[in-house]
Chain A
Amino acid sequence: MSGADVFDAWQLLIGISHVANAVRPQRSASKTIPFTLISGFLGSGKTTLLKSILEAPFAQRIAVLVNDFGAINIDAALIRERTASTIELSNGCACCSLAAGLTNTLTDLLASPRPPEAIIMEASGIAEPVGILHVALAHSELFLNGVITVVDAENIEMQASDPRLKSTIERQIKAADIVILNKADLVGPSGIEVARRRIRQISSEARILDCVYANISPQVLLGIELGLAGANTSAETAQEAPHSAFKTWTVTSERPFNDRRLCEFAGSLPVSTLRAKGFVRLARDPPRWHLLQVVGRRWSLAPEDCDIVQEGPSEIVFIGLPTDAEIEAVTTRLRACEASLPPLNYGT
């Protein structure tokens, strides 16, 4: 048997059936809560990242689901209340144990009087990330905000060439929208290049960020500050990006887009672009706003059923680490998606 295991598929089918039975009859909620999965080997720095997410000053109430409380050493001064399954922080975040199982944990959280506004989940080192995603996303309130995989720069070569670890690390990297190459300080520039090349071999489209002590701005990583409570806030918050290396830029357009071309554009952004998000008008359905979201290589385009009809141009905010030439190229390509231009050929 190769890396895939018959149990993965079976667990998925049983898992989503369980969600369907437990949850579905009671509601048909819209997808409003972003769900982010964080995977990575033991020792990669995943826990450090989760801790920094928990302690970050988000405006939204975030729930972080972890396998083991004990592993995350949360600053005691931040803890407001602690129960057997939840630690509530003074910043409004909560750290929840997955001991009751993914479906039960999610069902309880989503049914609580004040459900979280974003959910971040730690995947166990061994689990098949795609299987977890399908079971989690069977909860209809959730939409996929991205898969982040933390990789240990010092050990990736060893892990990816060890036949016993190879398939696990490969599926973690393949599932990732953003790969965090942690412990960059331990390997130096040439070591980082080797690690990047290895990750590229596994996933040519992965967005790779290198860092030390998993120190990446959680807001940028999660795209949460790009959250469009109202379409007009995005540009100004983007400028406050706390990680100085990241660039954000906004493209506006008065003309509606051709949806097929826009999707092709969204699926082929340069790997230096981490995220993009914005409300757009489509030539196919001009009266409605559509929400375009891109994280890594993953995109979605869905009609926005808000009652308030806002006037104004389509507006897309990008964030990433591009060169100025790349920014210009992305902008030009986006303009080429405007509906009045001749269609692209399929398959290109």
Chain B
Amino acid sequence: MQREAARDPAVTVFLAKRVITMDPGRPHADAVAVKDGRILSVGSLTTMKPWLDRLDHVIDETFADKFVLPGFIDPHTHFSMSGAFLGLHYVGPIESPGPNGMNPALTSRSAVMSHLRALHEGMSDRDRPLFAWGFDPAIQGGQLDRDELDLISRERPVWIISYAPHFVYTNSAMIERLGATEDLSIHGVGRYADGRLNGQFVEVAAVQYALSPFLDDVMRPDRNEEALRMLGQTAKKAGITTTADMAFGFTNFDKEWLEYKKVVRSEDFPLRMVLVPLESAIYKAHGDDSARFVSSLEALSDEKLRFHGIKFINDGSYPAMSLRVKFPGYLDGGNGLRGDVPWDELADRMFPYWENRIQIHAHANGDETIDAVLDTLASLQSKKPRFDHRYTIEHYCISTTDQARRLKALGGAASVNNYFVHYRGQIHSNQGFGPDRSEATARLGSLEREGVIFALHSDFSLVVVPLHPLTAVWVAVNRIAADGETVLAPGERIGLERAMRAITIDAAYVLGLDSELGSLEVGKIADFTIVDKDPFETNVLAIRDIPIWGTVLSGVKQPA
């Protein structure tokens, strides 16, 4: 690819049905010219003439009937923790997000069986086990067993874990792989009437036993690299050109760095990545020297893979119902978890970063936690006042209107997981948070009214939502619940322009990259998302369905 680039003329001009720049001053264009991976000019062949007269160029008409947008940015994902997705198929009874968009609902036994058969036939390596999750015996026709799964394959090991994680089902080949013999003395191993193992593993001890092939698969030496490559493709299909791992070093700093370096910097990897180290992991290794260590990481960065900022985790998760809320607590009277840095020590732990101009990303899902991280920001400001610090509250799921105003006053930003409005807003009206807070999940309207800059993110794959920025936009402008009709907290909807900014230029802002990415302006990196329809002229209810052709990364086409 490099050789080709060297032979090619210096400039490529991409013609489009329309270029949507997200530069409010010059919102639309017909063409974008790229030189050395950067934008040379945005306009039309006519307006670009002064450049084109002076430079060798080629005209690329691939996108002549398509729409060119700035490359989408998901500023908060967890790719290095997402290895479990690799080769894990879904056979559940309800639609569920997966690495390739929505997994369809399989509502009958025959649908499950034919899906498994198709998966088996689509796999080339016969020894590679087929792992699936989400089976629900109550809806999908009762328990599976060994003889029935042998109908899928007698050679390929088949392994299925149920929806509520109480059962594992296997075929004969997987029983062999497990080394399970008929004299196996483990509580919960299922048997036919004649004593033969029936492939069902039901109690905790038996499920533990049956988990080992899955763990072995997760532990394959190249597994994480393979997963990163797959996630790169998943992201590209969703139109993403940049994403940030928002807890880098969570498992093992050095190992993760080697994996990212190898995969992201290889030429065929279609994503730019930002690594935001997790403070508690850094602190454990470097103690009081942590901020200096994080500063030193800049030397390892380049345009495609770079370190940026620091991440603090301050409460639990929204879908796990472990975030912290204020009065009146959870429906059951309980509350969630605080983070591993005590809140009253947070300002002291953050100050070295604040002082050294390292951007702080403060995870806060619930309103009690948002108060705590706002208090912390206030004390950082009184200790050493700063402008343009971009202290970003990550997730911002359950908030109050006054918190948006206070965040603005203190100069902070927000990166919001708003997918939950659609995927979980109604569930948590009845479980955990109660109706008021569940309906008002992700108060984007309040942030917009107060003038806080915010981005939208998926947190993929720690939570079960799709990695798909146009779906985030669809949720932001419609706030339609999982029932497909109820609009949750209508005053928290935002306009399309604002929502599109939140996956492009404003997402670049919260990663400190808005001078290089996020809009199509001269001098910026030439990352584009290519779509079949103009989102601004599409019915807002159909925005998430807009077909995505692929992306352009540093001027190089990346078809999906």
Contacts and interface: CB of A to CB of B under 8 A. Distances in A.
Interface of A: 1-14, 16-18, 20-22, 24-25, 41-43, 67-68, 84-85, 97-101, 104, 124-128, 130-131, 133-134, 137-138, 144, 164-165, 168, 259-260, 263, 266-267, 284, 298-302, 346-347
A16 B211 contact: yes
B83 A17 contact: yes
A298 B321 contact: no
- Chain A CB within 10 Å — which of B185, B187, B321 has the most? B185
Interface stretch (B48-56, B133-141, B233-241): B133-141
- Chain A CB within 10 Å — which of B134, B321, B334, B339 has the most? B334
A124 B431 CA distance: 14
B364 to A, nearest CB: 14
A130 B168 CA distance: 13
B67 interface: no
Contact of A126 (B92, B330, B341, B427): B330
Contact of A7 (B207, B224, B330, B463): B463
A196 to B, nearest CB: 23
Nearest to B82: A14
B204 A100 contact: no
B102 interface: no
Contacts of B81: 14, 17-18, 21
B215 A20 contact: yes
A127 B193 CA distance: 35
B107 to A, nearest CB: 13
Given A6-B94, A84-B341, A134-B207, A14 B161 contact: no
A302 B430 CA distance: 43
A124 B316 CA distance: 12
B163 A20 contact: no
Contacts, number: 160
B84 interface: yes
Nearest 9 interchain pairs by C-beta: A4-B164, A100-B340, A17-B84, A12-B165, A301-B185, A99-B340, A42-B334, A84-B342, A7-B319
A133 B134 contact: no
A347 B193 contact: yes
Given A17-B84, A42-B332, A259-B185, A99 B138 contact: no
Contacts of A85: 340
B489 interface: no
Given A7-B319, A41-B332, A98 B185 contact: no
Contacts of B193: 346-347
Given A9-B162, A99-B338, A124-B334, A134 B88 contact: no
B345 interface: yes
Given A124-B336, A130-B164, 4 more contacts: A6-B96, A7-B320, A11-B319, A298-B203
Contact of A9 (B165, B224, B345): B165
A99 B337 contact: yes
B52 to A, nearest CB: 51
A125 B322 CA distance: 10
Contact of B332 (A24, A125, A300, A347): A125
B219 interface: yes
Contacts of A7: 319-320, 463-464
A287 B535 CA distance: 74
Interface in B175-231: 183, 185-187, 191, 193-195, 203-205, 207-208, 211, 214-215, 218-219, 224
A178 B84 CA distance: 33
B229 to A, nearest CB: 17
A35 to B, nearest CB: 11
B187 A299 contact: yes
Contacts of A266: 187
Instruction: Tell me if B's interface is mostly helix, strand, loop or mixed.
Output: loop
B204 A137 contact: yes
A247 to B, nearest CB: 24
B252 A144 contact: no
A346 B195 CA distance: 6
Contact of A2 (B138, B165, B332, B462): B138
Contact of B321 (A6, A22, A126, A165): A126
B251 interface: yes
B166 A130 contact: yes
Nearest to B203: A298
Given A6-B163, A20-B219, A137 B84 contact: no
A130 B92 CA distance: 19
A122 B416 CA distance: 30
Interface of B: 81-84, 88, 92, 94, 96, 133-134, 136, 138, 161-166, 183, 185-187, 191, 193-195, 203-205, 207-208, 211, 214-215, 218-219, 224, 251-252, 280, 319-322, 330-342, 345, 427, 430-432, 461-464
Contact of B136 (A4, A11, A133, A260): A4
B215 A138 contact: yes
A14 B251 contact: no
- Chain B CB within 10 Å — which of A2, A21, A24, A302 has the most? A21
B350 to A, nearest CB: 15
Nearest to A159: B332
Given A4-B136, A164-B331, A263 B207 contact: no
Nearest to B195: A346
Contacts of B219: 20-21, 24-25
A207 B280 CA distance: 41
A168 B342 CA distance: 30
B84 A13 contact: yes
Contacts of A137: 204, 208
A110 B320 CA distance: 25
A97 B340 CA distance: 8
A301 B205 CA distance: 11
Nearest to A171: B164
A150 to B, nearest CB: 14
A48 to B, nearest CB: 16
Contacts of A17: 81, 83-84, 215, 218
Contacts of B138: 2
Contacts of B252: 21-22
Contact of A128 (B94, B164, B432): B164
A40 to B, nearest CB: 11
Contacts of B134: 6, 9
Contact of A13 (B133, B322, B334): B133
5 contacts: A5-B427, A6-B134, A8-B163, A67-B337, A100-B280
Contact of A8 (B82, B165, B204, B342): B165
B90 to A, nearest CB: 9
Contacts of A300: 186-187, 205
B194 A138 contact: no
Contacts of A3: 164
B164 A9 contact: yes
A9 B161 contact: yes
Contacts of B133: 9-10, 13
Contacts of B136: 4
B204 A126 contact: no
A2 B252 CA distance: 37
B474 to A, nearest CB: 20
A312 to B, nearest CB: 22
A257 B432 CA distance: 49
A22 B333 CA distance: 34
Contacts of B218: 16-17, 20-21
B427 A13 contact: no
